[in-house]
Chain A
Amino acid sequence: MITTSNLSKKYNDNLVLSIDNLNIPKGQSFGLVGNNGAGKTTYFSLLLDLIQPTTGHIKNNDISVHESEAWKPFTSAFIDESFLIGYLTAEEYFYFIGELRGQNKADVDALVSQFEDFFHGEILGQKKFLRDLSKGNQKKAGIVAALIGNPEVIILDEPFANLDPTTQIRLKQIVKDLAHKRGVTVLISSHDLMHITDVCERIVVLEKGMIVKDLETSEATLKELETHFAGTEIN
């Protein structure tokens, strides 16, 4: 589904990302881990054509993302709060996104109603603007908005951060369902090794912009990751 070749990003001679080759097949739940500055958000930003690659390209469903916009209808993302429109209520925001993705009110209502559990009664019917919600609740709204319109690729940057434990557990279930039952390609980054090994079939470790590990998730993965990160910390 997503192929990355010879991709690099430099900011004034400072190489922040360099990926020679990375293939993410359709329906995979893909996890990206790495310390701060490893290039996780840079990779997602390149994937969403928010920044320009210095060399190489990413192809999303055979569409080179920085040359065509045709990937947009089947791709959605929640990177940070700047993906929310602060002066809308959660419902208004969902409907807006719905309209952009060709969904009518009823479609959006039907989708959103599946997540009432996830929202825990703190998102819908609040009569509050999104900018007035807490960080965690903003995140919930943003994540669900990224699910509107049956996207085939969903990109979530640090989805577990700022969420309360109950919501984290529910989110894990949602992500698993997306990949396994509906064949959606889900890309997630996280600092939480436990969560990401729980959710993702495959985990890639970035370090200073390079891929240093590419693991199929198994029983041993968590241990391996912990050793890896403990080791790099000491160095």
Chain B
Amino acid sequence: MIKHFLSFEWKQFFRASYFQKGLAIKILLILASIYFGGIAIIMGGALFFLLRKAIPNVDPIVSINNFIIYWFLFEILIRYFMQQLPVMNIKPLMTIPIKRNTVIHYLLGKTTLSFFNFLSFLVFLPFSIVLLIEGYPVLNVFCWFTSVIFLTLSVNYLNFLVNKSNLVFYVIATLLITLIGLEYYGIFAISKPVGTAFNMLYEIPFLIVIPLFIAISLYYLNFKYIKKGFYLDDAISKKVKEVNATDLSWMNRFGSVAPFLKNDVKMIMRNARPKQVLMMSFFFLFYGLFFFTQEMYVEKMPYILAFAAIFITGGFLLSFGQLVPSWDSEYYKMLMSQNIPYRQYLESKWYLMVVAVIIAFILSTPYIYFGWDIYFMIAAGALFNIGLNTFITLFGGALNRVPIELNTKAKAFSNTNGFNPTQLLIALPKMILPILIFFIPYHFISFNAGLIALAASGALGIVFKNFFLNKIESIYQNGKYKTIAAFGEKN
């Protein structure tokens, strides 16, 4: 039976039209996995030596045990936002004689092959090999490594429960926030006992039973949870929530684009996937912290700051905008046969992105802390985003014909939803152009000249708005039939 399931998965994956079309996508995906896998392996291999150099007086295995909690924390967070839960079309399976347990085991087993589990594996395997080469006791290293993998699997199954059950989500979230808070304010450092615990795992090999037990219990909990819901009227058919009507009539002041704007706001608030994007764009606000805290960038390479500035105000613009027609893929046919000028449709998306940039800019006010230069840089970046990046993004969207399921979370890496090579090419100018526009006047004249150039290019873009929109509209028009056909295919 498992054999059949695997062949279904295989067919589902390879027979999807976006896959058959894009050889380039396949190559890119393979390259991307080699790249990330490679980085993980190299990191794992180098970790030992890096730690020995950074903290010379402590055994690297002890250092890593002291810090490993952050790795798992990172894993929990990234999994919550990125990992897609296994979904199977079980409706056709319910009436044919397959044991329920088989289906559930398969479903849970499938998650073991998730990219996120391999990440851990790829980092800690080379690290463990280096440990062995360095002459650490084989049994201890082996058991420690296996324990880490068991714990990774535990996180995997925990994430499943967290996603499925609100109760578990709130419990885990409260626990994490409390512990992080206590640690941050120096009241109680949970990382210490956890570090000790991991060190004990290493020193006493038979303690491996504890992570094993945790992994098995979480698996069992999941099993029970799914089994309980293995009826169409439960977990599988989605819950019908009562809807509160939203009054957005104040948006009518936007005139002819108002109906679309109102619709887009509802779309974002009521569907899982755009909500996820909204959340991600919020995190982009903090992107500047990586750069503005580094003397090196601020003093010597301020053009890199232009890059950061684009991201701070452009998070939503970049992540939402690049999937522009796809957001409406579920009802695109209707839009195309309705009384809608394409122009208004595009213009409303433009306004949405502009408003998002402005909101992000207002929220970025605290960056004044890093100095007015930085803040002006963000302002210039915001102008560039409004004036040019919006159009580049809309243009890129015209080439994007992958349907999106609005109410399903995006998968990470195993996901080709809304991903294609043209997107990558289009993404480059969005990031490199502002650096160039800033760099040239900065290099030959001054910092302020760079700022002015960046801001001016954005302002110029706004002046030519109609020209750009006309061009983009005609591209959308030309691709209309292809887009309708592509969106018509359901995954």
Which residues from chain A sit less than 8 Å from chain B, CB to CB? 48-52, 69, 72-73, 75-77, 79-80, 82-89, 91-92, 96-97, 99-102, 127-129, 131-132, 149
Contacts and interface: CB of A to CB of B under 8 A. Distances in A.
Max chain A CB contacts within 10 Å: which of B240, B258, B332, B334?
B334
Contacts of A89: 243, 245
Interface of B: 238, 240, 242-245, 258-259, 262-263, 266-267, 270-271, 330-334, 336-341, 406-407, 481, 484-485, 488
Given A50-B484, A88-B263, A89-B243, 12 more contacts: A51-B485, A82-B330, A82-B488, A83-B331, A84-B331, A86-B330, A87-B267, A97-B338, A102-B339, A127-B243, A127-B244, A128-B240
5 contacts: A51-B481, A51-B485, A72-B337, A87-B407, A96-B263
A82 B336 contact: no
A100 B341 CA distance: 10
A73 B339 contact: yes
Given A77-B337, A92-B266, A82 B331 contact: yes
A91 to B, nearest CB: 7
Give me the 10 closest cross-chain CB pairs, A-B, nearest first: A83-B334, A99-B259, A48-B337, A87-B270, A132-B240, A72-B339, A127-B243, A127-B242, A73-B339, A52-B481
Max chain B CB contacts within 10 Å: which of A85, A86, A87?
A87
Contacts of A92: 245, 266
A75 B481 CA distance: 19
A86 B333 contact: no
B21 to A, nearest CB: 15
A79 B488 CA distance: 12
Given A51-B484, A128-B243, A85 B263 contact: yes
B338 A72 contact: yes
Nearest to A48: B337
Nearest to B331: A85
Given A51-B485, A82-B332, A128-B240, A88 B337 contact: no
Contact of B271 (A75, A76, A87): A87
Contact of B334 (A84, A128, A129): A84
Nearest to B490: A82
Contact of A72 (B242, B332, B340, B485): B340
A84 to B, nearest CB: 6
Contacts of B245: 89, 91-92, 127
Contacts of B271: 87
A85 B337 contact: no
Contacts of B338: 72, 76, 97, 100-101
Contacts of B339: 72-73, 100-102, 149
A192 B219 CA distance: 51
Nearest to A82: B333
A52 B482 CA distance: 10
A49 B331 CA distance: 15
B297 to A, nearest CB: 42
Contact of A50 (B267, B270, B337, B406): B337
A87 B266 contact: yes
Contacts of A49: 336-337
B251 to A, nearest CB: 11
